[in-house]
């Protein structure tokens, strides 16, 4: 029986925990919301600093791993070529880790910062404008992508190097917790991860569905109501269920490729037809501002404003901490997924690939579409902020896209893209949820299991959407994701412990770390020098000869009176 493969305690544990959270919210929506809100503000205000530190720590840790010996290890057998080419790999990575939220926030995030800037800056000023197009690329930038990559290290290492056919978060902590990985502690770790992911995905749906609904309303005139939102959810579920059902190599890859090409088309179109110079200048300027302030932004906690007669904006908790928490609940999932698609790459390639391709992808969306919107606002062509404040973000997003030439067609592209983006995040999520509740994953998780989680992912947000409690589920996910902060530290530690141990014990090991490698570098430089072409006289030689002569003459002219 294939069902023996299912790890029932984890399967049921995750499902029951979800019911324990959701049923009271359905029965006592008001009290439930209140409790969740209290827990949320307790965590983000008291532990906000912990999120900031862990996130920055993860970033440095990964850079260290990439340049150290641990990064040299190949995921798979020696001489093996990467399973997917770079383009498909980057595409799958981006499409799995990023859902329709990038279309949502990429288009509109600047407008929030414009009105509520960081660092005590006056809203709407020149400085606020500069930050408004910078903060988005920070919240979706290298630190965020580093959070995504960390869990991939132990998971890929155990799957491809130690060849354990288990795709589970608990399995990746085995070097630390030992056999407890098979007991309740292991189950708890997996269940917490699944719960976080279900909630994080709920946040994605809560944002994506109204935006797609507004798009359809613009295209067809149909009213935005519950029926429409339900139909959208049904459509998205159908697409990603089919994709998850047909598996990684067929469904998920094909959908990601379509997603990637459609994104490239949208971005290229806005860049060329929109204010190309403004977009290029503002994006470049933002990159500089970000690099200059990278540490300030990643550690800004607004501390004194709690004490003195200053206004507290709450910016760090409501944006940076919220974002890190949101990336965190998705991280083990993306890590598992990145691990699964990275066969044949080295750990270093996997780290650099995720951080660099990921950040560039985010930069393109925020830089092009976001700055297109900012330009509309600044030139007075279209008052995005007014629509945002009066009619909400989904409307403002669709109307921003509606300012482009061929508006109807572009909104069609945008809406279809949002649907596919949702589907590609969800097909890989259900694939991974299914993997986690299996004791072993030989090639792919069982089909019925993949389908089950595909529907479970949507069923709960759907129920809550009818009850109007989706917002609470999002907050609950962030709260429920709190333990992940510690699980992440365990994952990094496990990886180091296991891989460093294996490396040290290897008979072929020869340290090559940058610090220890100076001999090789000296040798390489020497070899290169030898290879140099014989020198010939060129256009600057006359100048140098002249200089030489001058020097000689000066030296001869100098009185030799040093001793006097």
Contact residues for ligand NM2, defined by CB under 6 A:
98-102, 204, 326-327, 330, 425
Angle at the Cα of 402 from the Cα atoms of 272 and 362, rounded to 5 degrees: 55
Question: What tokens were used for 437?
Answer: 């509740």
> Minimal CA–CA distance to 235: which of 207, 257, 262, 216?
216
Token digits of residue 429: 């999520």
Which CB sits closer to ligand NM2, 290 or 478?
478
Contact 130, 281 (CB under 8 A): no
Rank residues 141 and 344 by Cβ distance to ligand NM2 and give the closer one.
141
Report the alpha-carbon distance of residue 72 to residue 90 in Å, rounded: 20
Residue closer to ligand NM2 by CB (options 197, 368) is: 197
Taking the least distance from each CB to ligand NM2, the nearer of 89 and 104 is 104
CB of 328 to ligand NM2, least distance (A): 8
Distance in Å, CB of 451 to ligand NM2, minimum: 21
Between 109 and 171, name the residue whose CB sits nearer to ligand NM2. 109
From 177, 162, 145, 174, select the one nearest 55 (Cα to Cα).
145
Beta bridge partners of 6: 438
Sequential DSSP letters for 468-479 = T-HHHHHHHHHH
Task: Name the minimum Å distance from CB 103 to ligand NM2.
Answer: 8
Nearer to ligand NM2, 106 or 175 (CB): 106
**Closest C-alpha to 232, from 29, 458, 547:** 458
- In the complex, the smallest distance separating the C-beta of residue 428 from ligand NM2, rounded to whole angstroms, is 11
Is residue 438 helix, strand or coil? strand
Return the number of the residue (121 or 329) whose C-beta is nearest ligand NM2.
329
Question: In the bound complex, what is the minimum distance in angstroms from residue 305's beta carbon to ligand NM2?
Answer: 26
Taking the complex as a whole, the smallest distance from the CB of residue 98 to ligand NM2 amounts, in Å, to 5
The number of angstroms, rounded, from the C-alpha of 42 to the middle of its chain's C-alpha atoms is 25
**CA end-to-end span of the chain:** 102
What is the spatial distance between Cα 475 and Cα 544, in angstroms, rounded to a whole number? Answer: 70
Complex with ligand NM2: residue 160 or 315, whichever CB lies closer: 315
For ligand NM2, which is the closer residue by CB, 70 or 133? 133
d(CA 58, CA 41): 24
- Only one residue has tokens 């037809």, namely 273
The full length of the chain comes to 564
Q: Which tokens in the block code for residue 389?
A: 């404040």
Smaller CB separation from ligand NM2, 96 or 410: 96
The least distance separating ligand NM2 from the CB of residue 139, rounded to whole angstroms, comes to 8
Give min distance, CB of 183 to ligand NM2, in A: 31
- Residue 155 φ/ψ, nearest 5 degrees: -65, -50
CA 140, 144, 146 angle in degrees (round to 5)? Answer: 140
Q: How far apart are CA 400 and CA 515, in angstroms?
A: 51
Q: Which is nearer to ligand NM2, 396 or 422 (CB)?
A: 422
Which tokens go with 66?
């990439």
**Tokens 């933002």 -> residue:** 286
Identify whether the C-beta of residue 305 lies closer than 8 Å to the C-beta of residue 312.
Answer: yes
C-alpha distance from residue 173 to each of 154, 339, 432, 440, 491 (Å): 8, 15, 17, 16, 6
CA-based R_g, the chain, Å: 27
Q: Shortest gap between Cβ of 317 and ligand NM2 (angstroms)?
A: 16
The two tokens of residue 426 are: 């969800």
Smallest gap from Cβ 184 to ligand NM2, in A, equals: 29
Q: Which is nearer to ligand NM2, 99 or 480 (CB)?
A: 99
Q: Which is nearer to ligand NM2, 98 or 464 (CB)?
A: 98
Q: How far is the CB of 190 from ligand NM2 (least distance, A)?
A: 20
Name the minimum Å distance from CB 54 to ligand NM2.
15
Our measurement of the distance from residue 176's CA atom to the centroid of its chain's CA atoms, rounded to an integer in Å, reads 26
The residue among 151, 95, 21 whose CA lies nearest residue 474 is 21
User: In whole angstroms, how close is the CB of 105 to ligand NM2 at the nearest point?
Assistant: 8
Dihedrals phi, psi of 68, to nearest 5 degrees: -90, 180
Distance between CA 350 and CA 161 in Å, rounded?
Answer: 14
């Amino acid at each position: 029986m294939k069902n023996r493969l299912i790890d029932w305690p984890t399967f049921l544990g995750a499902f029951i925990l979800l019911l324990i959270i959701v049923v009271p919210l359905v029965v006592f929506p008001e009290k439930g919301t209140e409790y969740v809100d209290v827990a949320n503000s307790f965590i983000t205000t008291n532990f906000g600093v912990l999120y900031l530190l862990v996130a920055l720590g993860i970033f440095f840790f990964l850079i260290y791993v990439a340049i150290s010996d641990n990064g040299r290890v190949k995921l798979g057998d020696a001489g093996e070529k990467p399973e997917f080419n770079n383009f498909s790999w980057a595409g799958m990575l981006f499409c799995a880790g990023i859902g329709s939220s990038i279309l949502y926030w990429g288009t509109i995030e600047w407008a929030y910062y414009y009105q509520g800037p960081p660092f005590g800056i006056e809203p709407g000023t020149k400085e606020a404008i500069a930050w408004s197009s910078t903060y988005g690329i920070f919240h979706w930038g290298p630190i965020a992508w580093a959070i995504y990559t960390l869990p991939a290290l132990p998971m890929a290492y155990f799957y491809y190097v130690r060849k354990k056919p288990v795709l589970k978060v608990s399995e990746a902590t085995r070097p630390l917790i030992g056999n407890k990985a098979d007991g309740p502690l292991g189950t708890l770790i997996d269940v917490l991860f699944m719960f976080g992911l279900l909630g994080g995905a709920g946040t994605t749906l809560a944002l994506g569905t109204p935006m797609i609904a507004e798009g359809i309303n613009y295209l067809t005139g149909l009213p935005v109501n519950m029926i429409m939102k339900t139909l959208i959810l049904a459509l998205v579920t159908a697409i990603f269920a089919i994709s998850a059902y047909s598996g990684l190599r067929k469904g998920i890859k094909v959908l990601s490729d379509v997603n990637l090409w459609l994104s490239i088309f949208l971005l290229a179109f806005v860049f060329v037809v929109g204010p190309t110079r403004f977009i290029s200048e503002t994006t470049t300027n933002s990159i500089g501002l970000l690099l200059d302030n990278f540490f300030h932004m990643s550690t800004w906690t607004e501390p004194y404003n709690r004490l003195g007669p200053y206004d507290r904006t709450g910016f760090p908790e409501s944006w940076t901490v919220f974002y890190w928490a949101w990336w965190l609940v998705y991280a083990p999932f993306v890590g598992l997924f990145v691990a699964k698609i990275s066969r044949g790459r080295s750990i270093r390639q996997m780290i650099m690939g995720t951080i660099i391709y990921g950040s560039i992808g985010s930069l393109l969306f925020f830089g092009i579409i976001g700055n297109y919107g900012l330009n509309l606002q600044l030139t007075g062509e279209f008052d995005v902020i007014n629509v945002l404040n009066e009619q909400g973000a989904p409307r403002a997003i669709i109307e921003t896209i509606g300012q482009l030439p061929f508006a109807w067609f572009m909104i069609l592209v945008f809406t279809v893209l949002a649907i596919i983006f949702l589907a590609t995040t969800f097909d890989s999520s259900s694939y991974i949820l299914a993997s986690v509740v299996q004791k072993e994953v030989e090639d792919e998780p069982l089909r019925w299991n993949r389908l089950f989680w595909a529907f479970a992912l949507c069923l709960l947000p759907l129920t809550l959407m009818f009850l109007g409690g989706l917002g609470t589920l999002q907050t609950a996910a962030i709260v429920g994701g709190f333990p992940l902060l510690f699980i992440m530290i365990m994952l990094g530690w496990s990886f180091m412990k296991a891989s460093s141990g294996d490396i040290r014990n290897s008979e072929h090991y020869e340290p090559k770390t940058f610090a220890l490698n100076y001999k090789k570098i000296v040798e390489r430089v020497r070899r290169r020098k030898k290879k140099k072409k014989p020198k010939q006289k060129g256009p600057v030689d006359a100048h140098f000869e002249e200089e030489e002569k001058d020097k000689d003459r000066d030296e001869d002219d100098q009185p030799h009176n040093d001793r006097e």
